[in-house]
Amino acid sequence: MLVTVDYRLGPLGFFAHPGLPGEGSPLGNQGLLDQRRSLEWVRDNIEKFGGDPGNVTIFGESAGSADVCYQVASPGSRGLFHRAISESGGCTVSVSGGKDATPASAASEIAAFAKALGCGTATDEFACLRAASIDDIMKNAEQPDLTGGGATPSFRFSVVVDGANGFLPDFPRTLFDKGDIAHVPYLLGSNMDEGTLFLLQATIPTSDAEYLAALTSRFGSIADQVLALYPVSKFNGDYRAALARVVGDSGLVCGTHDTARRAAKAGLDVFMYNFNIPWAIAPDVMHVSHASEMSHVFGNPYLPSPDPGSQAVGDAMNAYWARFAATGDPNGDGAPATWPKFTPDANDDDERLQLDPGFELLKSFRKAECTFWRGVYDAAFAN
């Protein structure tokens, strides 16, 4: 039985105004609380539809993948689900590669947003904000910059660590490291070429100097280190491929890996994958991009006419996901390969299942790259 849910986004779902608790409202994370309320609805009602409230799996992709991770981290969501699946994204590093916001760090942007809507000097700021049109609200809400070309509007709204009585009493990374998380089986993974989707509208470098400039724009003082790890020669002189690998690894691939490591060390049964079937549409540009696995999860590969190998992977993934939801383990009768638990050791060696027609076991996937980015995450968290 499948239940899908809507939740509030942007300034409607992640508005951390410091005055909200004074009127009994949540201090941000409204969208995550929407999700929790949906899980409470499932608990209270799903049996009437033939479902089992004692065996609930939450799963999502991209932002939904991170949302699943935040629910795993949040004390108030425990007991509402019993398995978790994150497809391309964790929560132990933020979307920018560092810490999530706190109410204090978000306060200046919230104040500036109110000012931009003409409410900065209003006698009743909340009344002014609530009277603003949705067009004005969204016009001033920043959309994530996925191209490296600079943000368009001025403000951004995201998850906040809202304290002891909130959704997140501490940074998710800290909660995972303390083991203060939902102890449920956790399946996570990413796609071979996560970064290609985010470069569709980007200006692609055509020289070494432009490539270094693009890295500097994104990563500042560590650009030379990134260049050393991702020289264009490693990608046969293809600047788009090199930059796409940097974008994909620095965010979704190694961010998901970071969460998987911390989950496994907290004692969760963890299973990791790498999806490796290219899009049928513009495969030379998209390759195995972000979101390319989703249709396979439902056993219906998004292809004009799936070849037998791709369809077999779709069938297998649909069954792996279903078995995991039923039992907490994706393995079982009919599986084309045994999916090992993800167990990182001191040398950062681990195994994950590659989801393509070969169903290969990958050992220490992108070990050097994710070791590097974990150091970057650690440095950002320390500041």
- The confidence score (pLDDT) of residue 247 equals 96
Residues 6 or more apart in contact with residue 317 via CB below 8 angstroms: 293, 296, 297, 299, 355
The number of residues in the chain equals 383
Pairing relationship of beta strands 351-355 and 83-87 according to DSSP bridges: unpaired
- The confidence score (pLDDT) of residue 346 equals 78
Distances (CA, A) of 130 to 33, 137, 211, 227, 378: 20, 10, 45, 47, 39
Separation CA 221–CA 174 (nearest Å): 26
Q: What is the mean pLDDT of residues 270-278?
A: 97
- The confidence score (pLDDT) of residue 350 equals 92
For the whole model, what pTM was predicted? Answer: 0.95
Average pLDDT, the chain: 93
302/85: higher pLDDT: 85
| Region of poorest pLDDT, from 96-105, 158-167, 219-228, 353-362 | 96-105
pLDDT tops 90 at residue 337: yes
Pairing relationship of beta strands 270-275 and 361-363 according to DSSP bridges: unpaired
pLDDT tops 80 at residue 341: yes
Q: Where are the beta strands (DSSP E) in 226-376?
A: 270-275, 351-355, 361-363
- What's the pLDDT band for 349 if we cut at 50, 70, 90? confident
Q: Is 17 labeled as catalytic in the residue annotation?
A: no
Sign of the CA dihedral running 218, 221, 222, 223: positive
Q: Is 194 labeled as catalytic in the residue annotation?
A: yes
pLDDT tops 60 at residue 151: no
| For the chain, percent of residues with pLDDT exceeding 70 | 96
Which of 61, 87, 194, 369 is catalytic? The answer is 194
Q: What is the mean pLDDT of residues 357-376?
A: 96
- The confidence score (pLDDT) of residue 152 equals 47
Which of 62, 142, 210, 364 is catalytic? The answer is 62
C-alpha of 176 from chain center: 16
The answer to whether 70 and 91 are in contact (CB under 8 A) is yes
| Region of poorest pLDDT, from 29-43, 93-107, 152-166, 278-292 | 152-166
Of 41, 38, 37, nearest to 26 by C-alpha is 37
The helix (run of H) or strand (run of E) holding residue 59 is strand 57-61
280 token code pair: 């049928």
- What's the pLDDT band for 102 if we cut at 50, 70, 90? very high
Over residues 234-261, the pLDDT tens digits come to 999 999 999 999 999 999 999 999 999 9
The answer to whether 90 and 251 are in contact (CB under 8 A) is no
Q: Is 290 labeled as catalytic in the residue annotation?
A: yes
pLDDT tops 50 at residue 217: yes
Residues 6 or more apart in contact with residue 191 via CB below 8 angstroms: 88, 248, 252, 274, 275, 276, 288, 289, 290, 291, 292, 293
Q: What is the mean pLDDT of residues 220-233?
A: 97
Helix (H, G, I), strand (E, B) or coil at 230: coil
**Residue 266 one-letter amino acid:** A
User: Which residues sit opposite 61 in a β-bridge?
Assistant: 87
- What's the pLDDT band for 143 if we cut at 50, 70, 90? low
The helix (run of H) or strand (run of E) holding residue 260 is helix 254-265
Residue showing tokens 């070849």: 307
Which of 94, 290, 292, 369 is catalytic? The answer is 290
- The confidence score (pLDDT) of residue 277 equals 95
Q: What is the mean pLDDT of residues 313-342?
A: 97
Q: Which of 106-110, 245-249, 302-306, 348-352 has the highest mean pLDDT?
A: 245-249
Q: What is the DSSP letter of 311?
A: H
pLDDT tops 70 at residue 193: yes
pLDDT tops 90 at residue 333: yes
Domains in the chain: ranges and CATH: 10-117+156-382 (3.40.50.1820)
